[in-house]
């Protein structure tokens, strides 16, 4: 199998989720740092338009969204599992809530004026402006952001509920961490990095102790890698999906082989265009060719994404 190549940046919360899963599963990985904002000239040749962070590359296969990437890592290293029985369904539902509702409440709290001032204290004004404009473009559409006061009330309630789950066990659903733990952890990890706002965590000491247990898992064994090396590997490789479930499930009336577009439902609406080569019950796969990266398969989860026939198809 080709190396696991994670395209990420150090302060990305969702990247921290995957870095910890890689460490938990003891999977070695290559680290490619990418920009936090557009332009991303070494990412788009791989994804065809998708610009959210992180992205996992394995040869000529590119996996988008941490929900899908977690499934890929589970396939590569089934133990320790991210989806324990009999709470498998519960772990996925809780993870989905954490990656969306909890995440946006946390980030609204984290980047309130005093938090944002600390995060960008060493950045020049033009960089702060560029970041705000970039995230504004990603939020175009039906997405509503919480105001800091509303975020404070929601975030405190969510932290108390997480604390309640830890009354009689070290992790959210049992004796070992699962996908719910990693998904709930990463927005709180971002809070903990900011002195001006991290005091909210002190209201729930059990949550702080749980965070310490998650952090102790570490990031495992990683090695620095360049974007050019990663793109060259993509071009020299042949797609070979690791997603076990490839049975065609047609919910759109779009046959395999059609030219399609796929994009996120809410945050980051840039489209990827390609030939639909798989549509299973859990994921889509598009085949596309790039001058730099060659022929690639780009994979997306079904949940949270919109699939359509391309306008010119």
Whether the pTM exceeds 0.85: the reply is yes
Q: Do 262 and 238 touch, CB atoms closer than 8 A?
A: no
> How do residues 119-168 score in pLDDT, each as one tens digit?
999 999 999 899 989 888 887 666 667 887 888 999 999 999 999 999 99
- How much of the chain exceeds pLDDT 70, in percent? 97
The residue written with tokens 């919910």 in the block is: 251
Burial 176-190 (b: 16+ CB within 10 A, else e): ebbbbbbbbbbbbbb
> How do residues 248-273 score in pLDDT, each as one tens digit?
888 999 999 999 999 999 888 899 99
Q: What is the pLDDT of residue 1?
A: 64
Residue 89 confidence class, pLDDT cut points 50, 70, 90: very high
- Residue 168: which residues within 8 A CB-CB, separation 6 or more? none
Beta bridge partners of 295: 289
Q: What is the pLDDT of residue 137?
A: 86
Q: What is the pLDDT of residue 244?
A: 66
Q: What is the pLDDT of residue 313?
A: 60
Mean per-residue pLDDT for 289-303?
97
């Amino acid at each position: 199998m080709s190396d696991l190549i994670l395209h990420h940046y150090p302060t990305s919360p969702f990247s921290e989720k995957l870095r910890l899963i890689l460490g938990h599963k003891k999977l070695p990985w290559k680290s490619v740092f990418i920009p936090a904002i557009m332009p991303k000239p070494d990412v788009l040749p791989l994804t065809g338009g998708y610009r959210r962070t992180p992205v996992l590359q394995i040869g000529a296969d590119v996996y988008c969204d941490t929900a899908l990437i977690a499934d890929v890592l589970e396939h590569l290293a089934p133990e320790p599992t991210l989806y324990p029985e009999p709470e498998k369904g519960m772990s996925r539902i809780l993870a989905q809530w954490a990656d969306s509702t909890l995440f946006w409440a946390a980030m609204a709290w984290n980047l309130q004026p005093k938090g944002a001032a600390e995060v960008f204290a060493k950045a020049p004004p033009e960089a702060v402006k560029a970041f705000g404009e970039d995230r504004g473009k990603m939020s175009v559409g039906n997405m509503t952001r919480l105001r800091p006061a509303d975020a404070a009330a929601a975030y405190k309630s969510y932290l108390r509920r997480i604390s309640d789950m830890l009354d009689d066990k070290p992790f959210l659903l049992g004796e070992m961490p699962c996908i719910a733990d990693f998904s709930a952890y990463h927005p709180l990890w971002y809070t903990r990095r900011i002195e001006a706002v991290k005091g909210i965590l002190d209201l729930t000491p059990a949550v702080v102790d749980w965070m310490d247990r998650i952090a102790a898992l570490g990031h495992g064994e990683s090695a620095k890698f360049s974007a050019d090396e990663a793109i060259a590997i993509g071009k020299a490789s042949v797609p070979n999906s690791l997603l076990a479930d490839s049975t065609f499930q047609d919910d759109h009336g779009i046959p395999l082989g059609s030219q399609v577009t796929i994009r996120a439902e809410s945050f980051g609406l840039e489209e990827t265009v390609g030939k639909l080569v798989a549509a299973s019950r859990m994921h889509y796969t598009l085949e596309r060719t790039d001058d730099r990266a060659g022929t690639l398969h780009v994979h997306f989860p079904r949940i949270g994404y919109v699939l359509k026939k391309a306008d010119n198809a």
